[in-house]
Chains A and B, each alone.
Chain A
Amino acid sequence: MKNIKKATLNIPLFTLLIGFTAFLVSCGGGKQGADLEMGAPFGKESLKDIIERRGLNSEDVLAAAKTYTPDNIADEYVALNSGGQAGNMPMYTVPSMRMLKYVPICTRQPEIGYGYSMETKKLMEKGFIDGQEILWGDTHHPGYSETNGVYDGKWATVNDKANPRIFIVSLEDWEVKDVLQNPLFRSDHGGNFFTPNSEYILEATQYPAPFDRKYYPLSQANFEKYWRGGLTYWKFDNETGKVDLENSFTFEFPPYTQDLSDAGKLASDGWGFTNSFCTEMYYGGMESGRPPFEAGCSSRDVDYLHVTNWKKAEQVLAQGKYKVINGHKVIPIEVSIQEGLLYLVPEPKSPHGVDVDPTGDYIVVAGKLDSHAWVYSFEKIMKAIDEKNFEGYDNYGIPIISLESALHGSVEVGLGPLHNQYDDELGVIYTSIYVDSRITKWDYINLKVLGYVPSHYNIGHLVSSHGDTREPTGDYLIALNKLSIDRFNPVGPLHPQNHQLIDISGDEMKIIYDLPIPMGEPHYTILIKKDMFTPIDTYPPGTDITTNAKSQYYTDMGAEKVVEQGGEVHVYGTISNNSVTPSDIEVNQGQKVYIHLTNHGASKLDHYVYEIASYDQMYRWRPGETATLDFTADKAGMYPLLLDKIHHPDEIQLMGYLKVNFNEKAENDRLLAYASRVQWDMKMQSFKPSSIEMKNMLTGEMEFLNHGCNACHRFGEEYNGPDLLMVDKRRNDEWLKSWIMNPEKHMKEVDIEAMRQKYKLAMPNQNVSAENTDKIIQYMKLKSEAYMKGIQTQ
């Protein structure tokens, strides 16, 4: 338990314990942890005993009391996160920080059944871009629908960065209702920012690519001519949750790499703000000697904030001033310039968050490569536009508003500022600081720092309660830390994320909980008060949950039937009272089978999983739901049909059997399909020697490479370090071993010091084990020998 802090029973703690006098008097006498045999009972403990045994300090006890939420107390908020590469949306409660739900989004999830019924499979297929099966996603930025600039508890949306799509989730049942593909982009990032009355959802590109989705050879000229960024305004119907494709449109942007956006509010309502990086329009190519993206994309001093006027864009669209690409309306850059829809403002280098304050008067941008957060005044931006106070135009002719005329001011907040959230106190803002691993609380109106709190480690986004709305509540702040290194029980090389809950109700920010996020990587989180949405427990009988309409396959009790037509078998069945009707199903091998079941259970406990054992077919029916299993009965035999009542502890129950009668032709088809899968696997594994020729390697060569010795040393030439040819003749093995394993011990030796001067580098300690060091020494001998032989034979 060496990582648990030593017991620090100091004076303030005793003052905390005043409420506990009764306990302290009556309890005590618990056995002391150290005396116990491993696993033995602790015995009855008083508060003091527990605190001593667990090594808690007074801050820990307060944090425990602030977060512990027994069954008779309600949590205050629900946090909705993007799930990153897990392609889902994790949710947890605040302040008890208990994991609540993984809303499946881009990835199939059997426990909920998402992607297993015909209905949910069809929903997922709506997101298959160019027909490509995509069963995962990289969900990034969730958003809640708003009315008058505050959450209205109706909808949540999230984007998929890897496959530019938007998913719409109803807050009634927290299920996905729709999937939209972006018809132009190949990548998006700053998805899902609602305008204050949910008129639109903003989705911007991340990495630029040609809008027509065609191929163009990569060159600077082509990159600038054909590659494009953009910002899509999806027209949203806040009642139905549907997007009106006809009235949605995209601003064409230059091929800068766009990042996050935010919609204006109040004074700035009608405007959108999108930031960008790599306005250098650089592309890498390390393999061909070009500096990598990371160098070229951060070589200028500033990037550009894109300011877009969507209210005016609506008028321009009505005048027909757009072009249609892939069936979608695009406002070309020229039109935006002519009509005054798009302006650029210099912003700090490589920004991430652009966040409009609760009043809509200020816009704060945090640039990762600048130590300042910059505060823009919306009023000043408008004035600059009116007065045409431009410092110039970019290569595409877009006016660039001069920084001085738009900036309210800047504040030095720390190294690597990333994202901002607001407090309920006017002017107070929290900014995440990635490199410094902390949160800076500051005043964006009076431009001064108010305080700091450390985060562990490397905070990305942060969220404060309702902190991106017109009415932040100022209760909690959560740090979304990217690294958790030593914070939790170790669970292998892949670590959980770490979300730290911070109490911001007082003047001082207090970290009160560390929550491991056990799957995926949330990029952004939004908190919503627990009572701001009204969830349902059950559905009206026959509901298709993907449409919320009554399913055409609804089957009444007693009306169950099996219909066979055109080689297809349709089973219309029911689930009721722990059983399924019909119980047995008989089909012929090769037939396409549809099992349409209606769950007549009406209580919130009536959740059933129905499945076909060893046939990889299952779905979970919610109370009232109608859904379908559709599959081809491609293998013959008898397969148990099983029903599991989720909210009951019984083992899964046998309903009957799926009997698939053997058919020779269908069996042949199955075997052919099997053979083609095996062939694909062989292709997958077709051997090509890796970058290291593993066969014919000299003893120790692998260790030499693994420890990166080749980064500095070569044989027969000087490189970043001395030539290793015949090094074994110059030094003895013992010295070499000591040098490789503990170079710092030898740094004061005169010849070593001389070499340090010469190469301007010190030999690093590469943590080579004794065994590997021996191998490396042997390799150096063998390699020298081989080299000399090579010279002699030449």
Chain B
Amino acid sequence: MSNLFTRFFVLAIAWLLVAWLPQPVSAQQTLQEVQNIRSLDDQDVLAAVKTFMPRGGRDEYFAFLGTGNSGTMVVYGIPSMRIYKYVGVFSPEPWQGYGFDDESSLMLKKNSPDNLIYSYGDMRYPALAETNGKFNGKYLFYSDGANSRIAMLGLDDFETKQVLAHPLFTSTFGAVAVTQNTEYIIQTSQYPAPWDNKANTLADAKSGITFWKFYDPVGETETGHHIGRIIKEESFTLELPPFTMDYFDAGRLESHGLIVGIARKGDAHYLYVIDFTKLTGAAKVSVHESDVVTLGKAVEAKAIAMIDIGQKVSKVKVTPDGKYFITASDEAFVFDFGKVKNAMSAGSYSGQTDGSIPLIDKSTVLHGSVPLGKGAQDVIFEYRKNVAYASFYDDKKIVRWNYTSLKKESELPLTFKPSHLMIPQGLSAEPHSNYLIAVDKEGIYDNYPSVGPVRPSFQHLIDISADDEMVDIYTMSIPQANIYGSTAVLRTTIKPIIRYETGTNTRTGEISEYKTVAGMEKIEREGNRVHVFGTLIRSHIVPEIVEVNEGDVVTFHLTNLERAEDETHGFTIDTYGKHGSFEPGKTASLTFVADRPGVFPFYCTEFCSALHLEMEGIFLVRPKNYKGPEAGEEEVLTKEQLAEFKKNYEDKIKVINETQAVINSVVDWLTQNNYQDHSYVKALVEDAVDQLNQAELAKTNHERYAKEGKYRDAFLWAEQYWQYQVKAADVGLRAKELLRITLEEQQ
């Protein structure tokens, strides 16, 4: 029997040496054949090659969705329209440990008025951080239209860094706007409500606009970690009469300092214009420990005016150059910021509305208007100068038009009812072109697989690269998202990290006070409070056995020691309801009460190596007044058993030597092919070396135990040494494969 297995081991090793066998060559299908089989016409093939991403290719844009009541960010790539990530923002998400580990739970609770983790949010229109009116790729902001919160994500690691509850509003509009240097993140109320929880009539209801101060330190941390944060103490709210607030946008360049938005009251429809530069210095009053500028003060400071638009409009958006703002219904209205500014500074008003807010006569500030269709849903801008697009839901069309000459350029009839529109960087000073995304809220497709009443959301990719025509080229389905607006930025603008500095609390960006390094794991007890300081690395968790007493309050503080890209570990203790995700370098903690006695396995929840399933441990909770069986004597090995282990040990040493030879041959191959010139390969090789470096302790141990004649221990530690070798070989082979592909492609 054992001969058979020795053979397997040796053959296993031999596999490492096998060069890549050539694929059998079979008759290559032609494009024409595939077209015939799948009934694709030539237009389909054009669309296919415009959107298909060759293996390992990079999409041109990162796009971020407003996902409505899902409370989760969705990021996808354009033009492949593949979704890269869902990130918990307002809703807990266990894959990332978000709302399940201590660090994220504390972040979520800290700024909630009642120290609770709210369970969802309604995020409709995200905004990216800006520098000089251009997206800088560092942060992303969302407003929670359901539970009245605001969130900030860092785009270095794509994690939520801040979630703040609004101190005054009980209903917020699900949008944020960012000023051109991210000085302020702007959020408005949606439906009027009292700011005082003892009030019980609508007579006390108010609305408002909040200017959240954002501070982004110029010097980033050494690791490139973005550490900007919203500063609640320096933020303020402008109090408004009880309007129903709708979509809004921030001015840029020459209109920097102004905010425009839609407000309604009964049948009256207004656009509001706020000059926040005049509010920053205004006197504030304190309500619920937050700064408020009263309407009176704002009017006094000439910081607010409204335009009676006379009809229901759906969006208002600032043009890329900051010269105009546009809103639309059956007609598109193009307003001139210059004229508005003049009217506000000259005080040329036509009257007043609620709260003595001055009204500007629409005709005096309008650049012009143009009828485009029935009931415009959305407007968006692109690279071509002065060109805008508008969507028409009932007319099933998108119109391309010029907002300075006020001329319709072309129309694209669609098979669906379009609503929200997005063009990469379309809402910045630097809009791009080629791709237009149109949302389809109905999403009825005869051919799309039906999976019950709850269907995905849909949006279409429309090719606008040609001057004369627009083509609908891709239908994308998105699950777990109730899609509204979205935003997108050039891929290279975002500079994600692949690992954290060892011991990082990723929610604060600081080194955690619970950081643990190899060899320094420990369990500390103080009364019924137990802290476990542990580490994670392929393929073990240290400590592996943890015993506590019933009723102890236990925290596992774990640090992932890996530095290799994509070597995430997860951790959970069975049936205790907690989960953490530990990306390379991250430290996170899980606290719970060990209120149930018994035996609870714990394990790594992210498949991390061939021995991932063996990355496990046992958590024991000893009951109060335990009276059951005790541990009993440890067994002593018989002479025969010891001899068997000695033989196993010697066999294992042979295997170790053979494996090392194989590893050396892989290393030689990599070295001969200048692996260090290819950063991905180099990183993998370093990772493999790391694994081998880990092996030293195992080696010292097996040699020591062998010397002492303790062959069972010697054998087990030799086994452990071999496991490290296998892990090194695993990574080494991955590096070899990657380098092989790279070299082939270069030829």
Contacts and interface: CB of A to CB of B under 8 A. Distances in A.
Contacts of A62: 28-29, 31, 34
B523 to A, nearest CB: 8
Given A493-B568, A604-B444, A107 B94 contact: yes
Contact of A257 (B56, B106, B519, B613): B613
A659 B200 contact: yes
Nearest to A57: B54
A259 B613 contact: yes
B197 A635 contact: yes
Contacts of A507: 24, 26
B48 interface: yes
A112 B454 CA distance: 7
A187 B603 CA distance: 10
Interface string B235-275: 00000000010100000000000000000000000000000
Contacts of A485: 565-566, 680
B677 interface: no
A39 interface: yes
B618 to A, nearest CB: 6
A6 interface: yes
Given A38-B432, A490-B496, A694-B511, A100 B449 contact: yes
A123 to B, nearest CB: 15
B302 interface: no
B246 A98 contact: no
Contact of A287 (B170, B542, B698): B542
Contacts of B491: 489
Given A214-B628, A293-B540, 14 more contacts: A41-B434, A45-B465, A68-B51, A70-B47, A112-B480, A299-B648, A486-B738, A489-B59, A638-B193, A640-B190, A649-B393, A681-B106, A688-B524, A712-B696
Interface in A384-398: none
B210 interface: no
B349 interface: no
A611 B40 contact: no
Interface in B574-591: 574-577, 579, 581, 583-586, 589, 591
B620 A61 contact: no
Interface string A758-772: 000100110101010
A186 B454 contact: no
A221 interface: yes
Given A293-B614, A294-B539, A674-B115, A684 B591 contact: yes
Interface stretch (A230-238, A453-461, A561-569, A728-736): A453-461
Contact of A436 (B15, B91, B420, B622): B15
The 7 A-B residue pairs with the shortest CB-CB distance in the complex, in nearest-first order: A39-B432, A649-B419, A64-B52, A68-B48, A637-B197, A136-B94, A110-B120
Contact of A350 (B119, B442, B611): B611
Contacts of B621: 215
A116 B91 CA distance: 12
A657 B170 CA distance: 11
Nearest to B145: A652
A447 interface: no
A692 B515 contact: yes
Given A41-B384, A518-B84, A639-B170, A456 B55 contact: yes
Contacts of A706: 501-503, 517
A130 interface: yes
A296 B542 contact: no
Interface string B482-526: 101000001100001111111100000001111111111111101
Interface string A28-70: 0000000000111111110100110011110011111111101
Contacts of A538: 453
A711 interface: yes
Contacts of A296: 716, 719
A466 interface: no
Contact of B544 (A287, A623, A661): A287
Given A485-B565, A654-B244, A692 B635 contact: no
Contact of A288 (B32, B75, B434, B545): B545
Interface string B70-98: 11101111000111111000011111100
Contact of B734 (A437, A460, A508): A437
Contact of A56 (B54, B86, B539, B726): B54
Given A614-B147, A711-B696, A47 B46 contact: yes
B49 A50 contact: yes
A448 interface: no
Interface stretch (B352-360, B405-413, B471-479): B471-479
Contact of A515 (B57, B82, B589): B82
The A interface, classified by DSSP as helix, strand, loop or mixed, is loop
Contacts of A19: 31-32, 35, 42
Contacts of B577: 132-136, 163
B23 A109 contact: no
Given A492-B497, A604-B453, A611-B146, A74 B447 contact: yes
Given A434-B610, A636-B197, A99 B478 contact: yes
Nearest to B544: A284
Given A109-B480, A299-B716, A684 B70 contact: no
Interface in B318-373: none
A301 interface: yes
B480 A217 contact: no
11 contacts: A63-B52, A85-B95, A110-B91, A287-B542, A292-B720, A493-B585, A495-B568, A521-B607, A535-B451, A614-B148, A640-B171
B466 interface: yes
B441 A648 contact: yes
A150 interface: no
Residue picked from B55, B424, B445, B515, most chain A C-beta under 10 Å: B55
A662 B194 CA distance: 13
Interface string A1-27: 101111000001001111110110000
A36 to B, nearest CB: 10
A757 interface: no
A47 to B, nearest CB: 6
Contacts of B29: 62, 506
Nearest to B601: A207
B479 A99 contact: yes
A219 to B, nearest CB: 4
A622 B453 CA distance: 7
A73 interface: yes
A383 B156 CA distance: 62
Contacts of B723: 294-295, 298
B27 to A, nearest CB: 8
Contacts of A414: 15
B415 interface: yes
Contact of B529 (A91, A98, A135, A686): A686
Contact of B596 (A5, A130, A352, A454): A130
A751 interface: no
Contacts of A108: 91-92, 119
B686 interface: yes
Interface in A380-438: 403, 412, 414-416, 434-437
A523 interface: yes
B716 A221 contact: no
B56 A3 contact: yes
Interface string A613-652: 1101010101100000000000111111010101111011
B122 to A, nearest CB: 7
Interface stretch (B61-69, B213-221, B279-287, B291-299): B61-69
A441 to B, nearest CB: 10
Contacts of A101: 451, 454-456, 479-480
A691 B513 CA distance: 9
B183 interface: no
A227 B598 CA distance: 11
Contacts of A17: 31
Given A216-B629, A284-B540, A635-B114, A85 B596 contact: no
Given A489-B62, A613-B170, A691 B244 contact: no
